[in-house]
């Protein structure tokens, strides 16, 4: 067991992790961030996505100890009035909702790198995430709306 520290959504959190422990489990069980979720355990569905230093990571594949000192963003750390959150809510981009936080963080990563993505660029960035309810059209509309609003306030 190692004593390590993350900065989760801006707050320092001391956690304990063994060599085989997963970032996903430590975030859920010790930090209390349950917006990251297991969907496949093999990095193929995106439900466990978190941002580390702004970059998306499949936390179900990530060893917890590797991220000592890292800045970690989870979807529950985004404020309700965050433009991406607001855009997803407004376009109704959710059904069961289980996968949506992963899409939100992928959208956050995309819009930081590319504030005005084309539809094809949005598709390319989100294609590793699975929504079994089939809410893709609404999700794309949400990302476009968020990009538009963020550009307008920039």
Q: Mark residues 109-148: x for contact with other proteins by CB under 8 A, - for none.
A: ----------xx--x--xxxxxxxxxxxxxxxx--x----
Least distance to other proteins from the beta carbon of 139, Å? 7
Q: How far apart are the first and last CA of the chain?
A: 45
Give all strands (DSSP E) within the chain, no chain letters: 2-8, 11-17, 49-52, 55-58, 71-73
Per CB under 8 A, the list member of 7, 13, 30, 40 interacting with other proteins is 40
**Pair of tokens at residue 5:** 């520290």
Say if residues 67 and 52 touch (Cβ distance below 8 Å): yes
> Any contact of residue 150 with other proteins (CB under 8 A)?
no
3-state SS, residue 22: strand
> Any contact of residue 30 with other proteins (CB under 8 A)?
no
CA 89/CA 73 separation, integer angstroms: 19
Dihedral through CA 127, CA 31, CA 88, CA 102, nearest 10?
10
> Any contact of residue 17 with other proteins (CB under 8 A)?
no
Residues in the chain: 154
Per CB under 8 A, the list member of 23, 57, 75, 147 interacting with other proteins is 75
Nearer CB in complex with other proteins: 69/149: 149
**What one-character DSSP code corresponds to residue 28?**
I
Residues 45-74 contacting other proteins, CB under 8 A = 45, 47, 74
> Any contact of residue 10 with other proteins (CB under 8 A)?
no
Nearer CB in complex with other proteins: 109/128: 128
Q: Which residues bind other proteins (CB under 8 A)?
A: 20, 28, 34-42, 44-45, 47, 74-76, 78, 80, 85, 88-89, 92-101, 104, 119-120, 123, 126-141, 144
């Amino acid at each position: 067991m190692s004593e390590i520290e993350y900065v989760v959504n801006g707050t320092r959190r001391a956690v304990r992790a063994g060599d085989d422990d997963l970032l996903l489990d430590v975030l859920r069980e010790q930090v209390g961030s349950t917006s990251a979720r297991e969907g496949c355990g093999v990095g193929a569905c995106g439900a466990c996505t978190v941002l580390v230093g702004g970059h998306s990571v499949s936390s179900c594949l990530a060893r917890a100890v590797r991220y000592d000192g890292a800045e970690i963003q989870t979807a529950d750390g985004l404020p309700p009035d965050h433009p991406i959150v607001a855009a997803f809510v407004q376009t109704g981009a959710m059904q069961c909702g289980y996968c949506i936080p992963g899409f939100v963080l992928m959208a956050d990563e995309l819009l930081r790198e590319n504030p005005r993505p084309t539809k094809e660029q949005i598709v390319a960035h989100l294609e590793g995430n699975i929504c079994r309810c089939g809410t893709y059209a609404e999700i794309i509309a949400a990302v476009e709306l968020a990009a538009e609003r963020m550009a307008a306030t920039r």
